[in-house]
Structure 1
Amino acid sequence: MSAEIVQLMEQVGPYLSAAVSTYGTALLSRAEDATADASVDATASLGLRVLRVVWRRQDDQGRASLETAVRDAAEQPDDANAAGTLRQQIERALQEDAELAREVAALRSAPGGVTVSVSGTRAIGAQWIDTAVSGDNSTIHPSQR
């Protein structure tokens, strides 16, 4: 398995877990029917979108395997093996379909799928930023922009 796929799964794994814990076994019908509940947090929503993209690209056999993995993960939320099986299903799909992997990576970096965390005195965090200054008595001149 390529390092890029492993890294991508490390990044989207928590979103998938949030979607499974939020939606339970209804996750697949939501993935198939297509609309995420606007009241659900962005984490579960991104997990749902990732699963939706993977689901659409599967044949009947792939969908059956994915359905079983989702059901097991939803029905056994404390079972690391069940969660691991779901991740393996998605990893396999990403490994076999480079376009799917690019699509999932794009979802991860799309607005609404980004979390910016900062800490510390005068820390600045932003997804998109023009000019940011952190400090005492700072002056910005138009030529510095």
Structure 2
Amino acid sequence: MSAEIVELVEQTGPYLTAAVGAYGVGVLTRAESAAVDATANLGRRILQAVWSRRGERGQAELESAVADVEADPADGDAAAALRQQIKRALREDAELLAELAGLMPAASATVNVTASGERSIAAQRIGTASTGDQVTIKP
């Protein structure tokens, strides 16, 4: 299995869980709801994209996995089974992989900046900085 598929499925996990929590099994066929947060709506779009590309058997398996997550949202095995359904669909359909990757928000790099000590400065980006006494900065 490609690392790209594994990474994408891991990224989709929270969205899928939120969608099932908000919509239940209806997530596979319901329209987006303004009353539901963006995370759940993204999960709904992901599940519907997978659903629409599966055959009758694949749809039944996906629906069963979603129902299991709905029945017990804290069940890690149920969530894993749902992710496995997504992985299977992605392995079988390269276009679906591209579609789901396009739905996911861009990964943002986490930056930690720490300053320690008297007159220290911490910044991710900085133009001009001074911590000295009686400093004149000229443009």
Once residues 81 and 70 of structure 2 are traced to their aligned partners in structure 1, the CA distance between those partners, rounded to angstroms, is 12
What is the TM-score when the length of structure 1 is the normalising length? Answer: 0.73
Task: Name the counterpart of 2:135.
Answer: none
Q: Do the aligned partners of 1:55 and 1:66 also contact (CA within 8 Å) in 2?
A: yes
Q: Does 1:23 align with 2:23?
A: yes
Once the two structures are superposed, what CA deviation does each residue of 1:3-41 show, in whole Å capped at 9, x if it has no partner? 0000111111111111111212222231xxxx2102211
- Structure with higher Rg: it is 2
Q: Over aligned residue pairs, what C-alpha RMSD do you find? A: 2.6
Q: Does 1:94 align with 2:90?
A: yes
Once the two structures are superposed, what CA deviation does each residue of 1:96-133 show, in whole Å capped at 9, x if it has no partner? 111100000011147xxx7787665655xxxxxxxxx6
**Which SS does the other structure have where 1:10 is aligned?**
helix
Once residues 49 and 18 of structure 2 are traced to their aligned partners in structure 1, the CA distance between those partners, rounded to angstroms, is 16
Once residues 18 and 134 of structure 1 are traced to their aligned partners in structure 2, the CA distance between those partners, rounded to angstroms, is 38
Q: Does 1:49 align with 2:7?
A: no
Consecutive unaligned residues in structure 2, runs of 5 or more: 114-121, 130-139
Aligned length: 124
Task: Name the counterpart of 1:67.
Answer: 63
Q: Does 1:37 align with 2:29?
A: no
**Which SS does the other structure have where 2:28 is aligned?**
helix
